[in-house]
Amino acid sequence: MNNLLESPIEYLKGVGPKKGQLLNKELQVFTFRDLLWNFPFRYVDKTKFHLVNQITGEETTVQLKGIIIQKQLIGQGRKKRLVARLRDTTGSIELIWFKGVTWVDKFLVVGTEYIVFGKPSVFNGKINIAHPEIEVAKTVNQERPSTLAPVYNSTEKLNNNGLDAKGRRRLMATLLGKIDPQDISENLPDYLLQRTKLMGRFKALTKVHFPTSQEELEAARLRLKFEELFFLQLRLLQMKINNRTAIQGFVFDKVGDYFNRFFKEKLPFELTGAQKKVMKEIRQDLGRGYQMNRLLQGDVGSGKTIVGLMAMLIALDNGYQSALMAPTEILAQQHYNSLREMVNGLAVRIAFLSGSIKGKKRAELLKLLAQGEIHILVGTHALIEDPVVFQNLGLSIIDEQHRFGVKQRAKLWIKSKPHPPHVLVMTATPIPRTLAMTLYGDLEVSVIDELPPGRKLVKTIHKNENYRLRLHGFMKEQIALGRQIYIVYPLIEESETLDLANLFQGSEAIERSFPKPDYQISIVHGRMKAADKEYEMQRFVNKETQIMVATTVIEVGVNVPNASVMIIENAERFGLSQLHQLRGRVGRGADQSYCILMSSFKVSAEGKQRLKIMCDTNNGFEIAEADLKLRGPGSLEGTQQSGVLSLQIADLGKDQKILSTAREIATRILEKDPGLQNPLNEKIRAYLAKHKRRIKLWSRIS
């Protein structure tokens, strides 16, 4: 009988319509169940007390036990406040209230012992505590067997309406008093509980609110985190299994002349082991008769393009067209050029389409495309605009996918009949394995986790303004060696004007130190017209300029192998993944490359940590892992859109071990019992059936 948990929250004793509405509004708590699942975000050890004479005013919170020795109402009307003094064995301290004064005045009785909890602050050289939580010591001792008191997320409105920390605790105690074990059915099978030694569900849900010890709290939290992640993974895995056979697809079972000739005659190097592995996975997908829906992850420079090309050649061998879509014109153009170079001499017809291709040229191209005269179409999102019709699109490749919205991708998907094209999404944003399990839990994922041999690691250093002169000297040395240099300025929307000013100031300084005609400088930023950007980029690519001063527009994919120095100004303002992406612009040629992170003198602790990680490693996955730990999953690019991250108790950054275990166990269960028909798994099946929470995944293509 689970009905009790579905009761509207206003029916809980001590709530009523007014507080009920507040709980609805402020915490999205509508039912008993919602309240029960509203977990404390921290706990206070109520057995430990501070001593008055040891308080410095620096503490975030203190807990005191003492007697109220005096109290006084001061002022009138809105300025009225209550000042009281609490004394313990070491001294006394002032407590002060500006709100709820009348009520507190009634509650405080001089001569009675209280427990006080709050944040001390220093005012006019004296320490006081404003608006502390306060309870009568005697009742606390009777009411609370727990030594760890829960602290819940709260809002000012709740606090002012009797739902402050104390009120919330009382409410939770009332609720727990009403529920029995049968209200909360176990959703993990016995065999699983035994094997994992996890705490039972009812116990975990009660103890997480009022634990009697640290150990018990940990065990309760572990159980609830596991449960949350386990069912999430089960759902994702079920979706993945379904996806594999959900949508019929073209069968590319031939490997023919285009592929073979390219492989034998054109491939300029040996594929890395990782590239071979990924090719195998893709070939299997393409031959299965179902639509491929695969994500290809690989660090910058790991060689994703060639993998994409080979997949497109397989499509061609089977008589199908392919599309390769890139997020920017520059990048699409580069892909176009390098693909053409790679297949030079083979009868592969590649065309380029972007918004800037207009009029007759565009009409001609669209005609050829519809007739099947074009094999591979490379371009920007112009590829998915309405009038673009393929003869038979069999494969869509999307590069740097986080730049595309889900809707845009869906358009590519419907451009083909009778089946949707196979889809390969390539991304250079490494995502930690555990996070990928969840973000892309329903997708097939291939990883290129190996760089082509002989790559020199980019040497990375962190410097401040004191280094400026030497930096210019170093730049001159590099330019004298024939190398090119990027200088990147942050551009963050809120401070766009300021940032642009920085960029212009910086570029003026560079122009003074690197005067014409010996030195030529390109400047590229987001406020420029596309054509002007393109022009400046091209000058840099053609080595007509030695220095490229830019905002982050050059971040994605740009390939100028001769550029060997990346200087990042205000590096402390960039996120790790962005720094890593930027660094990936150098180290593409044969020369030793350098990344110089310039920061101000004062950098926050987290900022320092980020810059240190950049100096310590070149490995994108390690960097992503560190980022996840530093800032949590919400900060990773793209993840904000993901519904799967709104977890109630688990934290994808901190609970990676639990996540891996949950995923493993879920995988094993589904391998043995895909339909969850085994009576042993009845509890799991029933729970899933009852909680058909829809998971929104940003990785979904449709």
- C-beta separation of 299 from 457 below 8 A: no
Among 233, 302, 507, 578, the residue binding ligand ADP under the rule CB under 6 A is 302
301 binds, among Mg ion, ligand ADP, none (CB under 5 to 8 A by kind): ligand ADP
Q: Least separation, in Å, of the C-beta of 339 and ligand ADP?
A: 10
- What minimum distance in Å lies between the beta carbon of 275 and ligand ADP? 6
Q: Is residue 430 near ligand ADP by the rule CB under 6 A?
A: no
- Parallel, antiparallel, or unpaired: how do β-strands 444-448 and 293-298 relate? parallel
Dist. CA 41–CA 293, nearest whole Å: 38
Q: Is 191 in the site for ligand ADP (CB under 6 A)?
A: no
Binding residues for Mg ion, rule CB under 5 A, total 1
CA distance 197 to 189: 12
Binding ligand ADP by CB under 6 A: which of 6, 269, 355, 505?
Answer: 269
Q: CB 308 → ligand ADP: shortest distance, Å?
A: 8
Q: For Mg ion, give the closer residue by CB, 503 or 541.
A: 541
Q: Given the complex with ligand ADP, which of 129 and 397 has the nearer CB atom?
A: 397
Please name every residue paired with 377 in a beta bridge, in sequence order, or none if there are none: 323, 351
Q: How far apart are CA 590 and CA 455, in angstroms?
A: 8
Least CB distance to ligand ADP at residue 301 (A): 5
Least Å from the CB of residue 583 to ligand ADP: 12
Name the strands in the sheet holding 547-550, side by side, starting at the edge strand that comes first in the sequence. 459-464, 594-599, 563-568, 484-488, 547-550, 521-524
The residues near 66 (Cβ < 8 Å, ≥ 6 apart) are: 52, 86, 87, 88, 92, 113, 114, 116
CA–chain centroid gap for 651, Å, is 12
Q: Are 403 and 426 in contact (CB under 8 A)?
A: no
Stretch that binds ligand ADP, among 41-49, 304-312, 430-438, 599-607 (CB under 6 A): 304-312
Window contacting ligand ADP (CB under 6 A); options: 223-231, 303-311, 321-329, 479-487: 303-311
Give the contact letters, 329-368, x = binds to ligand ADP (CB under 6 A), - = no.
----------------------------------------
- Subset of residues 490 to 529 that bind ligand ADP, contact rule: CB under 6 A: none
Nearer to ligand ADP, 66 or 308 (CB): 308
* Interface pick for ligand ADP out of 52, 171, 292, 306 (rule CB under 6 A): 306
What does 596 bind: ligand ADP, Mg ion, none (CB cut-off 5 to 8 Å by kind)? none
Beta bridge partners of 140: none
Give the contacts of 121 (CB within 8 A, at least 6 positions apart).
57, 127, 128, 129, 130
Q: What is the dihedral of CA 543, 546, 551, 553, to 10 degrees?
A: 10
As measured in angstroms, the least distance from the Cβ of 257 to Mg ion is 26
Q: Which residue has the tokens 């386990």?
A: 230
**CB nearer ligand ADP, residue 136 or residue 271:** 271
- Interface region with ligand ADP, contact rule CB under 6 A, candidates 72-80, 102-110, 175-183, 268-276: 268-276
Q: By Cβ distance, which residue is nearest to ligand ADP?
A: 303
Site for ligand ADP contains 301 (CB under 6 A): yes
Shortest Å, Cβ 688 to Mg ion: 39
Shortest spacing between CB 426 and ligand ADP, in angstroms: 7
Stretch that binds Mg ion, among 488-496, 551-559, 591-599, 681-689 (CB under 5 A): 551-559
Residue 452 is a binding residue for ligand ADP (CB under 6 A): yes
For the segment 552-571, give every residue that binds Mg ion (CB under 5 A). Answer: 557
- Give the Cβ contact number of residue 594 at 10 Å: 21
- Asked whether the CA dihedral 523, 527, 532, 533 is positive or negative, the reply is positive
Min dist. Cβ of residue 281 to ligand ADP (A): 16
- Give whichever of 86 and 274 is closer to Mg ion, judged by the CB atom: 274
Phi, psi of 49 (to 5 degrees): -120, 145
CB under 5 to 8 A by kind: which of ligand ADP, Mg ion, none does 302 bind? ligand ADP
By CB under 6 A, residue 189 contacts ligand ADP: no
| Nearest to Mg ion of 354, 429 (CB atom) | 429
Q: Which is nearer to Mg ion, 40 or 557 (CB)?
A: 557
Residue 275 binds to ligand ADP (criterion: CB under 6 A): yes
Site membership for ligand ADP, residue 282 (CB under 6 A): no
Instruction: Give the Å distances, CA to CA, from 106 to 109, 110, 166.
Output: 7, 11, 17
Q: Smallest gap, in angstroms, from Cβ of residue 404 to Mg ion?
A: 14
Do the Cβ atoms of 322 and 416 come closer than 8 Å?
Answer: no
Give yes or no for a contact between 457 and 617, defined as CB atoms under 8 angstroms apart: no
Any contact of residue 304 with ligand ADP (CB under 6 A)?
A: yes
3-state secondary structure at position 377 = strand
309-to-377, 505, 506, 552 alpha-carbon distances in Å: 12, 42, 40, 27
List 379's β-bridge partners, or say none: 325, 353
Nearest of 539, 543, 509 to residue 524 by alpha carbon: 539
Stretch that binds ligand ADP, among 126-134, 295-303, 599-607, 634-642 (CB under 6 A): 295-303
Provide the minimum distance between the beta carbon of 270 and ligand ADP in the complex, in angstroms, as a whole number: 6
Count the helices and strands in the chain (H runs, E runs): 24, 22
Question: 589 or 607, CB closer to ligand ADP?
Answer: 589
One of 68, 199, 286, 300 touching ligand ADP (CB under 6 A): 300
Neighbours of 445 (CB within 10 A): 20
- Residue 306 interacts, among Mg ion, ligand ADP, none and using kind-specific CB cut-offs from 5 to 8 Å, with ligand ADP
Question: Which does residue 129 touch among ligand ADP, Mg ion, none (CB within 5 to 8 A, set by kind)?
Answer: none
**Interface with ligand ADP, residue 676, by CB under 6 A:** no
How many beta carbons lie within 10 A of that of residue 539, not counting itself? 16
CA 42, 45, 46: angle at the middle one, nearest 5?
Answer: 125
Q: What angle do CA 477, 478, 481 make, to 5 degrees?
A: 90
Residues 62, 86, 175, 428: which binds ligand ADP (CB under 6 A)?
Answer: 428
Q: Is 82 left (phi over 0), alpha (psi -120 to 50) or beta?
A: beta
Taking the CA of residue 35 as centre, how many other CA atoms within 13 Å lie in the half-sphere pointing to its CB? 30
Which alpha helices (H) appear in 354-453, and where do they start and end? 359-371, 406-413, 433-439
DSSP conformation class of 520: -
Q: How far is the CB of 412 from ligand ADP (least distance, A)?
A: 19
Number of residues that bind ligand ADP (CB under 6 A): 15
Determine contact, residues 430/297, Cβ cutoff 8 Å. yes
Partners of residue 93 on adjacent β-strands: 86
303 binds, among Mg ion, ligand ADP, none (CB under 5 to 8 A by kind): ligand ADP
For ligand ADP, the closer of residues 171 and 339 by Cβ is 339
Among 120, 298, 327, 633, binds ligand ADP (CB under 6 A): 298
CB of 428 to Mg ion, least distance (A): 6
Of residues 120 and 557, the one with the C-beta less far from ligand ADP: 557
Residue nearest to Mg ion (CB): 557
In the complex, the residues that contact Mg ion under the rule CB under 5 A are: 557
In the complex, the residues that contact ligand ADP under the rule CB under 6 A are: 269, 271-272, 275, 298, 300-306, 428, 452, 559
